C-alpha cells in the first residue's frame, strides 16, 4: 500500500477540520453540527483520489530533478507533499475567485497580479515541503497519521458541537430579560413581558395579488389563505417597496424605503445601526426573535439577521460553504458552458440550488416557536416556493395544469428545451401561470398545516402575511420580476390581529410593505421609530385614500439605472433613468389606475401638468430622507453565484 493511500484519510480529515473551523467562523450564527465536518471530509477524500496521479507525477519529477532514486515512500514528508499537491487547486481558486466580479467576469484575471499571487502560493507550498524538519521527514507515517487523525477528529468534533454566542445575542441579551412562567406550544404566559402577543410574520416570496382568490382570482388557488383572510384585515391596494427580494425584505424589517436603508443589487448589505431592524426593538421589549428563510439571498451576511436570536438560513448542505465546494461549483459551471448536456436548465450545480422548500423552513420555525421559553415571540418566515423555477409537485400539477404540448416548462427561458429566439404565445403564458398556480396551492397547503400544528391561540397571537414582490407571466411582454409592472408590484397584505383587537374587513387605502415594520411594532404595543417611512396599517388615522406611496427599483446591473414609481390620488407616475452610450436618459410615464388598473396605457402626453406635479412630489418625498441613487460606494454581493442562478443577474 503506497504512502498516498495510507495518508488519504489523514489528509482528508485534517483538511475537513480546517474547513469546518473556517465555515464556523464565517457563519457563526448557525448551530454547530457534525455533518459539516463529515461532508467536508468526504469531499476532500474525492479531491485526494483525483489528485493521486498528479501527485505521483510531480513527486517523480522532483526526484529525477534532485537526482534521487526511486526510494520507498514511507516517510511523513512524502505524505505532506501529497497533501500540498491536493490542496493547491483549492487555495489557488480561492485567491483567483477574489478577482471575479458580480457577473462572473474574469477580466481582472488578464492582469499579472492575480497569477503572481497563485505563483506565490505554489512557491510557499513547495518551500513548506522542502523545509520540513528532518526529524519529521524520517518519522513513520503511521505515528504521524494516528496523531493527526486524532487531532483532526478533536477539532472537527469541537467545532461541530461548540456553540459560540451570536454577536447580536451578546449586544442585546441584557435587554431581553424573560419573566413569567414557561409556556407550551409557543403561547406566552400572562405575566410580565409575556403578556405581549406573539407575532408571526409570513412572507410569501414572489406572490402576486392577482393570482389569489381573495383578490378576485377566478381559481381557488389558496383556500386556506381565504379562511385566514375572513378573520383578518385584507388590504386590497398594497404595493412592494421594490421588485428585488433582499431590498424589499429589508424595507419590511426596517420600515424604510430602499434608498433609505441603502441596500441594492450592487450593494448586498445594510448598516443595521443606521436603519435598525424591528428585531432589535422587539428584543429590547422582551421578545425572543427568530428568522427562518428559504433563500440564500437572505443570508445573514446581508444584515437581515441583525438582532435575531436565531437566524436559520442553511438552505443547502453545509459542505457548500467550504472552499473545496467553491472549486467544485465553478468547475461545474464551466463544464455546463462547454457541454450543453450538463447545463441542467440553468441549474448545473449538483446538490446546491440556493433555496429550500417551505416544509423544511416551516418545520424549523415550528420547532423554535414551541420551545420552552416564557417570553413572547416574534417569528419571521420567508417561503420561496413560488419563485422561479416553477416546479410544482405532481399532485398539485395534476389539479391545476391543463394539457399542454408547447416548448415552455417551469425553467422558462433558462430551460435547455427553450427554442432559441422563441417568442412565447398566449398558451405558453397560460401554462406558466398554471404551474405557478399549482405552486401557490401547495404553499397554501403547507402553511395551513404549519398553523394547524402550532394551534396558535388567537387571543395571544397576531399573524401578518405579505409578499416582497409579484411576478409577470407575459403581461406587457415581461416575465418574472425584473420590472415594476403592476403584476410585479401588487401584493397580498393580510393582518390578523389578536381576536377582539379589530374587526375583520377589507381596506382599500394605499399601503406598502414598508408598513410591515410599524404594523408589527404596533401589534407589540410599540411606537414606530421617527425615521420610518411606513405607518401602522391597523390605525385608521394613519391611512387615507390620498396617501402617497413609492416603489424604488435600483436593482439592476447598471448602477445608474433607477426606476421609480409614485402612487398618488389614483395615478401611477413612473420615472426611469438609465445610461445609454454614456448619456443619462430619463423617461416619464403616467397611468390612470381608475380606468387602467394594470397600468398599461401611458397617458403622460395627455396630462403634462400632472406629470410635472407628480415628478416634483416624488423628488420632495425622497428628499425627506436624503435618498441617494449614486453609484459611489457600491460593492458586489456576498454570493453572486446565488443571484446568477436565481435569475437576478439574467441568463443561465
Answer yes or no: is pLDDT of 188 > 80: no
Pick from 162-176, 270-284, 393-407, 512-526: least confident: 162-176
Buried b (16+ CB within 10 A) or exposed e, 214-241: bbebeeebbebbeebbeebbbbbbbbbb
What is the distance between the alpha carbons of residues 206 and 362, in angstroms, rounded to a whole number?
17
What is the distance between the alpha carbons of residues 512 and 172, in angstroms, rounded to a whole number?
29
More confident residue, 139 or 225: 225
* C-alpha cell of residue 222: 389558496
Distance (Å) of CA 620 to CA 505, 584, 610, 625: 34, 21, 15, 10
Give the pLDDT mean for 290-311: 93
Answer yes or no: is pLDDT of 525 > 70: yes
What is the distance between the alpha carbons of residues 302 and 264, in angstroms, rounded to a whole number?
11
Question: What is the band of 26 on the pLDDT scale with cuts at 50, 70, 90?
Answer: confident
Q: Is 48 helix (H, G, I), strand (E, B) or coil?
A: helix
Pick from 49-53, 120-124, 558-562: least confident: 49-53
- pLDDT at residue 142, rounded to an integer: 61
Of 268, 389, 368, 364, residue with least CA distance to 314: 364
Answer yes or no: is pLDDT of 443 > 90: yes
More confident residue, 212 or 51: 212
What global pTM score does this model have?
A: 0.89
By CB atoms closer than 10 A (0-12, 13-18, 19+), residue 113 is exposed
The string of pLDDT tens digits covering residues 43-94 is: 999 988 888 777 677 666 656 655 554 444 446 667 777 788 888 889 888 8
- pLDDT at residue 318, rounded to an integer: 93
Give the pLDDT mean for 334-343: 86
Q: Is 579 helix (H, G, I), strand (E, B) or coil?
A: strand
What is the distance between the alpha carbons of residues 433 and 556, in angstroms, rounded to a whole number?
25
Question: What is the band of 560 on the pLDDT scale with cuts at 50, 70, 90?
Answer: confident
3-state secondary structure 69-134: CCCCCCEHHHHHHHHHHHHHHHHHHHHHHHHCCCCCCCHHHHCHHHHHHHHHHHHHHHHHHHCCCH
Which domains, from first to last, does the chain contain? 3-161 (no CATH), 196-316+353-559+631-645 (3.40.720.10)
Give the pLDDT mean for 508-520: 96
* C-alpha cell of residue 299: 443570508
Pick from 189-198, 272-281, 536-545: least confident: 189-198
Helices (H) and strands (E) in the chain, counts: 19, 17
User: Within 339-373, where are the H helices?
Assistant: 358-369
Answer yes or no: is pLDDT of 139 > 70: no
Give the pLDDT mean for 512-538: 95
What is the distance between the alpha carbons of residues 573 and 570, in angstroms, rounded to a whole number?
10
By CB atoms closer than 10 A (0-12, 13-18, 19+), residue 499 is middle
Of 72, 63, 87, residue with least CA distance to 11: 87
The string of pLDDT tens digits covering residues 218-271 is: 999 999 999 999 999 999 999 999 999 999 999 999 999 999 998 888 888 887
More confident residue, 275 or 462: 462
What is the distance between the alpha carbons of residues 110 and 269, in angstroms, rounded to a whole number?
29
The string of pLDDT tens digits covering residues 424-442 is: 999 999 999 999 999 999 9
Question: What is the band of 396 on the pLDDT scale with cuts at 50, 70, 90?
Answer: very high
Answer yes or no: is pLDDT of 414 > 70: yes
pLDDT-above-90 percentage for the chain: 53
416: CB partners within 8 A, 6+ apart: 340, 343, 344, 345
Answer yes or no: is pLDDT of 182 > 60: no
Answer yes or no: is pLDDT of 181 > 50: no
Question: What is the band of 285 on the pLDDT scale with cuts at 50, 70, 90?
Answer: very high
What is the distance between the alpha carbons of residues 386 and 389, in angstroms, rounded to a whole number?
8
More confident residue, 107 or 123: 123
More confident residue, 20 or 480: 480
- pLDDT at residue 158, rounded to an integer: 65
Of 94, 83, 198, residue with least CA distance to 132: 83
Give the pLDDT mean for 545-550: 90
Buried b (16+ CB within 10 A) or exposed e, 532-560: bbbbbbbeeebbeeebbbbbbbbbbeebe
What is the distance between the alpha carbons of residues 81 and 410, in angstroms, rounded to a whole number?
48
- pLDDT at residue 408, rounded to an integer: 95
Of 371, 210, 214, 361, residue with least CA distance to 298: 361
What one-character DSSP code corresponds to residue 529? P
**Residue the block writes with cell 401589534:** 523
Answer yes or no: is pLDDT of 199 > 90: yes
- The mean pLDDT value of the chain amounts to 84
- Other C-beta atoms lying within 10 Å of the C-beta of residue 264: 26
Whether 205 contacts 386, CB under 8 Å: yes
Answer yes or no: is pLDDT of 137 > 60: no
Question: What is the band of 330 on the pLDDT scale with cuts at 50, 70, 90?
Answer: confident
Cis ω before 94 (30° cut-off from 0):
no
Question: What is the band of 638 on the pLDDT scale with cuts at 50, 70, 90?
Answer: low
Answer yes or no: is pLDDT of 447 > 60: yes
Q: Which helix (H) or strand (E) holds 563?
A: strand 562-568
Whether 40 contacts 20, CB under 8 Å: yes
Distance (Å) of CA 290 to CA 274, 308, 498: 21, 6, 20
3-state secondary structure 584-595: EEEEEEEEECCC
What one-character DSSP code corresponds to residue 267? B
615-623 own/partner pairs: CB under 8 Å, 24+ apart: 615/573, 615/575, 615/588, 617/548, 617/566, 617/568, 618/550, 618/564, 618/566, 618/573, 618/575, 621/548, 621/550, 621/566, 622/257, 622/259, 622/550, 622/564
Give the pLDDT mean for 631-649: 66
Buried b (16+ CB within 10 A) or exposed e, 181-201: eebeebbbbeebbbebbbbbb
- pLDDT at residue 170, rounded to an integer: 37
- pLDDT at residue 636, rounded to an integer: 53
Amino acid at each position: 500500500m503506497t504512502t498516498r493511500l495510507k495518508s488519504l484519510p489523514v489528509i482528508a480529515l485534517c483538511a475537513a477540520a480546517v474547513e469546518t473551523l473556517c465555515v464556523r467562523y464565517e457563519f457563526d450564527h448557525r448551530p454547530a453540527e457534525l455533518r459539516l465536518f463529515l461532508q467536508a471530509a468526504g469531499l476532500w477524500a474525492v479531491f485526494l483520489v483525483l489528485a493521486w496521479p498528479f501527485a505521483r507525477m510531480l513527486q517523480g519529477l522532483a526526484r529525477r530533478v534532485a537526482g534521487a532514486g526511486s526510494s520507498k515512500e514511507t516517510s511523513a514528508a512524502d505524505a505532506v507533499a501529497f497533501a500540498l499537491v491536493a490542496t493547491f487547486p483549492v487555495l489557488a481558486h480561492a485567491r483567483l475567485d477574489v478577482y471575479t466580479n458580480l457577473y462572473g467576469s474574469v477580466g481582472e484575471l488578464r492582469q499579472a497580479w492575480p497569477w503572481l499571487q497563485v505563483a506565490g502560493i505554489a512557491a510557499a507550498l513547495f518551500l513548506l515541503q522542502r523545509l520540513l524538519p528532518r526529524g519529521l521527514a524520517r518519522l513513520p507515517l503511521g505515528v504521524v497519521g494516528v496523531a493527526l487523525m486524532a487531532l483532526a477528529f478533536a477539532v472537527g468534533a469541537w467545532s461541530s458541537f461548540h456553540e459560540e454566542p451570536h454577536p447580536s445575542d451578546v449586544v442585546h441579551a441584557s435587554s431581553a430579560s424573560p419573566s413569567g412562567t414557561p409556556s407550551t406550544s409557543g403561547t406566552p404566559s400572562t405575566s410580565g413581558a409575556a403578556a405581549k402577543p406573539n407575532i408571526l410574520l409570513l412572507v410569501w416570496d414572489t406572490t402576486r395579488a392577482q393570482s389569489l382568490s381573495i383578490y378576485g382570482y377566478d381559481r381557488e388557488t389558496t383556500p386556506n389563505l381565504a379562511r385566514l383572510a375572513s378573520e383578518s384585515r385584507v388590504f386590497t391596494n398594497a404595493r412592494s417597496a421594490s421588485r428585488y427580494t433582499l431590498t424589499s425584505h429589508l424595507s419590511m424589517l426596517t420600515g424604510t424605503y430602499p434608498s433609505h436603508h441603502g441596500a441594492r443589487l450592487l450593494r448586498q448589505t445594510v448598516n443595521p445601526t443606521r436603519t435598525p431592524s424591528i428585531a432589535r426593538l422587539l428584543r429590547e421589549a422582551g421578545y425572543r426573535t427568530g428568522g427562518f428563510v428559504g433563500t440564500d439571498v437572505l443570508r445573514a451576511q446581508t444584515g437581515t439577521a441583525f438582532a435575531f436570536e436565531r437566524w436559520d438560513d442553511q438552505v443547502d448542505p453545509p459542505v457548500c460553504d467550504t472552499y473545496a465546494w467553491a472549486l467544485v461549483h465553478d468547475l461545474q459551471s464551466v463544464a455546463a458552458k462547454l457541454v450543453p448536456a450538463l447545463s441542467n436548465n440553468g441549474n448545473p450545480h449538483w446538490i446546491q440550488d440556493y433555496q429550500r422548500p417551505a416544509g423544511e423552513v416551516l418545520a424549523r420555525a415550528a420547532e423554535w416557536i414551541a420551545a420552552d421559553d416564557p417570553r413572547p415571540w416574534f417569528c419571521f418566515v420567508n417561503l420561496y416556493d413560488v419563485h422561479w423555477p416553477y416546479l410544482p409537485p405532481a399532485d398539485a400539477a395534476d389539479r391545476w395544469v391543463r394539457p399542454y404540448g408547447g416548448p415552455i416548462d417551469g425553467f422558462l427561458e433558462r430551460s435547455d428545451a427553450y427554442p432559441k429566439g422563441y417568442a412565447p404565445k398566449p398558451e405558453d403564458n397560460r401554462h406558466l401561470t398554471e404551474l405557478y398556480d399549482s405552486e401557490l396551492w401547495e404553499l397554501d397547503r403547507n402553511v395551513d398545516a404549519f398553523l394547524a400544528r402550532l394551534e396558535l391561540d388567537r387571543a395571544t397571537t397576531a399573524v401578518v402575511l405579505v409578499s416582497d414582490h409579484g411576478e409577470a407571466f407575459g403581461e406587457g411582454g415581461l416575465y418574472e420580476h425584473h420590472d415594476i409592472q403592476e403584476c410585479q408590484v401588487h401584493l397580498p397584505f393580510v393582518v390578523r390581529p389578536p381576536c377582539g383587537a379589530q374587526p375583520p374587513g377589507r381596506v382599500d387605502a394605499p399601503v406598502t410593505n414598508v408598513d410591515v415594520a410599524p404594523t408589527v411594532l404596533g401589534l407589540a404595543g410599540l411606537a414606530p421609530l421617527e425615521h420610518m417611512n411606513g405607518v401602522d396599517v391597523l390605525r385608521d388615522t394613519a391611512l387615507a385614500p390620498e396617501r402617497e406611496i413609492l416603489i424604488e427599483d435600483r436593482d439592476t446591473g447598471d448602477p445608474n439605472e433607477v426606476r421609480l414609481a409614485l402612487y398618488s390620488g389614483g395615478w401611477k407616475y413612473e420615472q426611469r433613468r438609465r445610461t445609454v452610450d454614456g448619456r443619462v436618459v430619463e423617461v416619464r410615464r403616467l397611468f390612470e389606475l381608475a380606468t387602467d388598473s394594470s397600468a398599461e396605457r401611458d397617458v403622460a402626453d395627455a396630462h403634462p401638468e400632472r406629470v410635472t406635479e407628480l415628478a416634483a412630489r416624488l423628488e420632495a418625498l425622497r428628499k425627506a430622507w436624503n435618498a441617494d441613487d449614486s453609484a459611489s460606494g457600491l460593492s458586489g454581493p456576498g454570493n453572486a453565484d446565488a443571484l446568477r442562478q436565481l435569475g437576478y443577474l439574467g441568463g443561465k
